[in-house]
Amino acid sequence: MGPTSYGRMRLRPIGDADAVKGRGVDMAVVKRAWGLTQPYRKRLLAYLMLLVVTSVLAVLPAQLIRFTIDRAIPQADRGLLFWLFAGLLGVAVAQAALSMVERWLSSSVGEGFILDLRRMLYRHVQSMPLAFFTRTQTGALITRLNNDVIGAQRALTGTMGTVVANFIGVTVTLVAMFALSWQVTLLALALLPLFIIPARIVGRRLQGLARRSMELNAEMNTTMTERFHVAGALLVKLFGRTERETERFGDKAERVAAIGVRTAVLGRGLFASLGLVGGAATALVYLVGGLLVISPGSTIEIGVVVALGMYVTQLYGPLAQLSNAPVDLMTALVSFERVFEVMDLPRDIDEKDDAIGLTAPRGHVRFERVAFRYPAAGGSSLASLEGPRSAHGDEASDWILRDIDLDLRPGTVTALVGPSGAGKSTLSSLVPRLYDVTEGRVTVDGHDVRDLTLESLAAAIGVVSQDAHLFHETIADNLRYARPDATQEQIEEACRAARIHHVIARLPDGYDTVVGERGYRLSGGEKQRVSLARMLLKDPAIVVLDEATAHLDTESERLVQAALRETLVGRTALVIAHRLSTVVDADEIVVIDDGRIVERGPHAELIGKGGLYAELARTQLVTSEAS
């Protein structure tokens, strides 16, 4: 009956008493969380009923042992002894079998709940506007999808199950104890404060240590994510900071290790103290019970004392956990709140209920009196996911675009040029609705883009940006991202048009070559041409090229330009470029400065005007071409 008798008691340092101190139960969160359990109600009910059955079974062994000591042995009743033996064995088998069923029920409900929550969160996050991702820390967002979802699941099958099981177990055990001897039961409960007080004091210290450990682990994870990224690793090597990074990481890891030692010592000390108090209570039960047994005229039998001693070991652990149940429940609700915070973020760019599909797009794009400024962070952003905000982080930006009127006729090429920061890329991002205009409207084939379904709009537009992003998959998988049903012949045809097929064909694994994170196993020019091939495979009516040839050498650019001249026929193209060779053949060149259109016309006409375009041609355009 020593300390090991309390092995079933679980320390729960995850709960943060300080974080939930003074908070009330938000019934809206409870109702919403309960609503998510709809598909699992029957299994959840079966799980709770099973907890009741196992709690009742847990009090039977002591009663069977009591009858063994007080009836079967003194009366030399072998038949009763065998029946009691069979009962003890049957209870053990039933408890083992029911524990397996209980585990299956809890895990199937919990894992199914996690699956549903993760799908809902992932879908919602994927549908958020681009502004959300430009402000959000990726690590913080991943934590919501992992740790907080698991925390919510624990609330359902862990915390709730533990509270219910402990409550039922304590109730049944106390009923059994009072039925045997109310005097001894009250005496055993008198030591309960000596059991609960150290548990709560040490528990709070363990919670603080656990919280600090999680913070340090999060810092280590952030460091590893940034430094193990190809670009981060390259930066460390270029600046020769390997030793410094190792020391900084080692310092955080050392503090985590120190916290781990303190947690282990405190946890062992807690269990030792609980075992000591529990042992004292058990000893007291045997002492007082024994005195009662040997007292003249006593009606208490030896078996009753033994049963009471066994019940004491079953009583103290659940009672101590129930004393901390409010903190556990509130902490579990915090996980739900954090999940719902993300789920409730509004999607500034969303489909209308009556949105129409864009069928057989011709590619006629118009900008009508368009003005744009980046919205304030408060709309589709969450402060706890952003990290530090700037002093003006909650305010809308200055005007990026003003009074933009453009008519991109089907089959024409329009080039956007201007100084860095003039608003060229922002203007191009309004076509696929990466952002919505602040004033005016953008139309495709006469339809306001805000009236179209997002899927049909995305299908009509192909974008190749300066930073061509490839997933850590094969070249073929990256290409099929544009067209999942594409055949190998269609893939190769697109790659030939982008002048990249011969490069892929020389690779040992060909189109099955894994490109590495962000495509770092390919050169900048190769990535760009794979990205161009992906766009060509999509076969869009509208093409946006945002510095799409920036990473190509002169020869590759010449080949790609030849390919584009062939593939852009019949498509509407919006081209942003600094290189003169990219824009001279455009049907119209639009010069943007400080968010406004200041010049427009063909190349020769703009050169003759001697304005901003002519100045750009003499400086960055010509310089880029010469390089």
Over pLDDT 90: what percentage of the chain? 19
pLDDT category at 396 given cuts 50, 70, 90 is: low
pLDDT category at 550 given cuts 50, 70, 90 is: low
Q: Identify the CA nearest to 542 among candidates 367, 413, 435.
A: 413
In this prediction, residue 532 carries a pLDDT of 87
Three-state SS at 478? helix
| Mean pLDDT confidence for 150-158 | 71
Among 239-253, 456-470, 486-500, name the most confident range. Answer: 486-500
pLDDT in tens, 559-591: 677 777 777 888 899 998 776 667 888 899 999
Kindly report, as residue ranges, where domains of CATH 1.20.1560.10 are found in the chain.
Answer: 3-343
In this prediction, residue 10 carries a pLDDT of 43
Cα(39)–Cα(547) distance, integer angstroms:
50
Cα(53)–Cα(58) distance, integer angstroms:
9
CATH placement of domain 3-343: 1.20.1560.10
pTM: 0.69
Q: Which residue has the higher pLDDT, 160 or 500?
A: 500
pLDDT category at 323 given cuts 50, 70, 90 is: low
Q: Give, as one character, the DSSP assignment of residue 507.
A: S
Query: CA-CA distances (angstroms) from residue 127 to 36, 177, 346, 454?
Result: 21, 58, 10, 10
CA atoms 409, 413, 417, 422: torsion sign: positive
Residue 202 backbone dihedrals phi, psi, to 5 degrees? -70, -35
The two beta strands, 596-601 and 588-593, are: antiparallel
Q: Give, as one character, the DSSP assignment of residue 87.
A: H
Kindly report, as residue ranges, where domains of CATH 3.40.50.300 are found in the chain.
Answer: 365-377+397-626
Edge-first strand listing for the sheet containing 447-448: 401-408, 365-372, 439-444, 447-448
Over pLDDT 70: what percentage of the chain? 82
Residue bearing tokens 């340090």: 216
Whether residue 389 has pLDDT greater than 60: no
| Mean pLDDT confidence for 498-510 | 89
Q: How many helices (H) and strands (E) does the chain have?
A: 26, 10
Q: Answer yes or no: are the C-beta atoms of 574 and 564 closer than 8 Å.
A: no
pLDDT category at 599 given cuts 50, 70, 90 is: very high
Q: Which residues of 429-440 are buried (b: 16+ CB within 10 A; e: fewer)?
A: bbbbbebbbbeb
Cα(438)–Cα(252) distance, integer angstroms:
46
Residue 415 backbone dihedrals phi, psi, to 5 degrees? -105, 135
445: region left, alpha or beta (phi > 0 left; psi from -120 to 50 alpha): left
In this prediction, residue 418 carries a pLDDT of 86
Radius of gyration of the chain (CA): 35
Q: Identify the CA nearest to 154 among candidates 321, 9, 332.
A: 332
Q: Which residue has the higher pLDDT, 385 or 142?
A: 142
Q: Answer yes or no: are the C-beta atoms of 5 and 278 closer than 8 Å.
A: yes
pLDDT in tens, 339-376: 887 887 777 778 888 899 998 899 999 999 999 988 76
Residue 413 backbone dihedrals phi, psi, to 5 degrees? -115, 120
Q: Give, as one character, the DSSP assignment of residue 485.
A: T
Q: Which fold has domain 365-377+397-626?
A: Rossmann fold (3.40.50)
Cα(60)–Cα(543) distance, integer angstroms:
76
